[in-house]
């Protein structure tokens, strides 16, 4: 049985993490999470004049890609640090602070809602889906991405396996929703249809994470994520060093011509509001 989730505690944990690790995420994960943005925008038909809300926008990458397609886009994120970075990077795009589970927008005011790697960070993702549904017009589309299962997303497999084998996977962190919940198409379909959407579609999109060395790969998780990183940071220093060595060794197996290339595919889900 999984532990009961205290949504407030998990939200506070995520919020504090993003406030602190936004820069590390930007430096390490953005080169990965931006790879799926083209297919995400294609899946929900983002084009000139389409009103797009990019939820959990982070430093605004998907919003910027939508703006390049001449869409009318707004990005929203609950982290002031992320929103400040988004505004700094893309001063011509509108960004707002706000919670995915209580969006600060009117009903039926968008044609498209995108959520790139946000769903697995929300305490109550059904609420985020309901909110997306509320702000979309009839016929509007939602599109979101999450990591594929660790069997495919090898970077997550390496890190979670190292923690499981050498560390304590049960360090006291606020329990959150299962990390790979939306990697499962049946669960995506259930949540999207119960959230008022129809015609759900899923696809897996290849992404490759490149690093100059396996040490950088470890650093990406250690200094760039609130949730998986917290599992690492909460380990005893000696245990963490053993985990670090295991991660470095496993990541080294992915070296090709002096570059570490780790498969990290995304699952892309989309659906339509009737
Ligand atoms: C993994 S990052 C994804 C950022 C960006 N979409 C990208 O593709 O790189 C997750 C983002 O979700 C934001 N976030 C997490 N929980 C949120 C919530 N409840 N409401 C709004 N934003 C949230 C974080 O601040 C962070 O910017």
Q: What is the pLDDT of residue 214?
A: 96
Helices within the chain (DSSP H only): 7-28, 30-33, 37-43, 61-68, 80-89, 125-135, 154-166, 185-194, 214-224, 227-233, 237-252
Lowest mean pLDDT of 92-106, 150-164, 206-220, 225-239, name the range. Answer: 225-239
What is the Å distance from ligand 1's center to 32 Cα? 15
Q: Is the dihedral of CA 236, 238, 239, 241 positive or negative?
A: positive
Query: 207 CB under 6 A from ligand 1?
Result: no
pLDDT at 158 over 80: yes
Closest to 178 (Cα-Cα) out of 168, 188, 163: 188
pLDDT in tens, 212-270: 999 999 999 998 888 888 999 999 999 999 999 999 999 999 999 999 999 999 999 99
pLDDT at 37 over 60: yes
User: How many Å apart are CA 175 and CA 227, to the nearest integer?
Assistant: 10
Q: What is the pLDDT of residue 2?
A: 62
User: How many Å apart are CA 80 and CA 97, to the nearest integer?
Assistant: 6
Tokens of 184: 């499962």
User: How many Å apart are CA 225 and CA 23, to the nearest integer?
Assistant: 10
pLDDT in tens, 42-72: 999 999 999 999 999 999 999 999 999 999 9
What is the Å distance from ligand 1's center to 197 Cα? 22
38, 121, 128, 264: which to mutate for ligand 1, most atoms within 8 A of CB?
121
pLDDT at 147 over 60: yes
Query: 79 CB under 6 A from ligand 1?
Result: yes
User: How many Å apart are CA 2 and CA 167, to the nearest integer?
Assistant: 19
Q: What is the pLDDT of residue 16?
A: 94
Q: What is the pLDDT of residue 224?
A: 83
What is the Å distance from ligand 1's center to 264 Cα? 18
In order of start, what are the domains of the chain with their CATH numbers? 7-153+174-210+265-272 (3.40.50.150)
């Amino acid at each position: 049985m999984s532990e009961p989730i205290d949504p407030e505690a998990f939200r506070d944990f995520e919020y504090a993490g993003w406030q602190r690790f936004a820069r590390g995420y930007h430096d390490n994960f953005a080169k990965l999470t931006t790879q799926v943005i083209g297919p995400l925008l294609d899946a929900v038909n983002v084009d000139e004049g389409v009103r797009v809300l990019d939820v959990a926008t982070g430093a605004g990458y998907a919003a910027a890609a939508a703006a390049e397609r001449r869409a009318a886009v707004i990005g929203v994120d609950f982290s002031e640090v992320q929103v400040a970075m988004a505004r700094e990077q893309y001063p011509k795009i509108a960004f707002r602070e706000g919670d995915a589970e209580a969006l600060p927008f009117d009903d039926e005011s968008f044609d498209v809602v995108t959520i790139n790697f946000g769903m697995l960070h929300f305490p109550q993702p059904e609420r985020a889906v309901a909110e997306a549904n509320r702000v979309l017009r009839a016929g509007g589309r939602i599109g979101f991405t999450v990591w594929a299962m660790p069997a495919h997303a090898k970077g997550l497999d390496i890190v979670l396996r190292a923690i499981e084998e050498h560390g304590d996977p049960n360090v006291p962190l606020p329990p959150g929703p299962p990390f790979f919940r939306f990697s499962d198409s049946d669960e995506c379909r259930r949540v999207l249809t119960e959230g008022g959407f129809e015609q759900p579609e899923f696809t897996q999109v290849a992404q490759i994470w490149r690093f100059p060395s396996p040490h950088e790969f470890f650093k990406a998780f250690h200094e760039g994520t609130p949730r998986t990183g917290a599992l690492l940071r909460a380990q005893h220093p000696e245990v963490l060093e053993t985990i670090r060595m295991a991660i470095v060794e496993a990541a080294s197996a992915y070296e090709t011509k002096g570059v570490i290339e780790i498969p990290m595919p995304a699952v892309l889900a989309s659906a339509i509001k009737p």
